[in-house]
Amino acid sequence: MADNTQTTMTGRSGGRAGATPGRHARLSGDTARAARKRVVSALAGAVSLATTAVVLVLAVHIVFVAFEANTGNELVRRVAGWAHDLAWQFKDVFQPANPKIAVAVNYGLAALVYLLVGRLAVGLVRRLD
C-alpha cells in the first residue's frame, strides 16, 4: 500500500503541501482584521448617513420657509417638527427682523454644526481601523 500523506516543505508529514506552522493563526488574524475593517466601515457609513439625513431635513425646512410652503400640508408640518427638534439650541442664536432670514441663518448654522461634527465623527471612527 502506498502512503497517502503528503510531506510538507519542512519535512513533516500530514497537512497540505507548502503549509507552514502558524499559517492558520496568520489567516485567523487576517480574517479578524478584515471583519474589524468591515465593522468600522459600516459604522462610519451609518454615522455619515445619519448626519446627511439631519442636514437634509434642516435644509428642506429652510427651503420650505424661504418659499412659503403650505403649512397646512402634512409633509411641511412634519419636516418643520423634525427641524425644530434637530435645531435645538440654534433656533434663536441670531434674531434678525425678517423671520425667513432668522430660519435660514439659525437652522443653517445648526446644519453646518451637524455637518462638521458628523464629518469629525466619521474621521474618528475610520481611525479605529
Q: Give Cα separations from 99 to 18, 94, 112 (angstroms).
A: 75, 11, 19
**pLDDT reported for residue 30:** 82
Mean pLDDT in runs of 10 for the chain (129 residues)?
A: 50 51 63 92 97 98 98 98 96 96 98 98 93
Please state whether 73 falls in left (phi above 0), alpha (psi between -120 and 50) or beta. Answer: beta
The residues spanned by each domain of the chain are: 23-127
**pLDDT reported for residue 9:** 47
**pLDDT reported for residue 23:** 56
Q: What angle do CA 40, 54, 110 make, to 5 degrees?
A: 115
**pLDDT reported for residue 29:** 75
| C-beta of residue 108 within 8 angstroms of C-beta of residue 56 | no
Ramachandran angles phi, psi of 7, nearest 5°: -100, 130
Q: CA–CA separation, 102 vs 98, rounded Å?
A: 6
**pLDDT reported for residue 16:** 53
User: Which residues are CB-neighbours of 20 under 8 A, at least 6 positions away?
Assistant: 8, 9, 10
Q: CA–CA separation, 16 vs 18, rounded Å?
A: 6
| pTM of the complete model | 0.76
Please state whether 90 falls in left (phi above 0), alpha (psi between -120 and 50) or beta. Answer: alpha
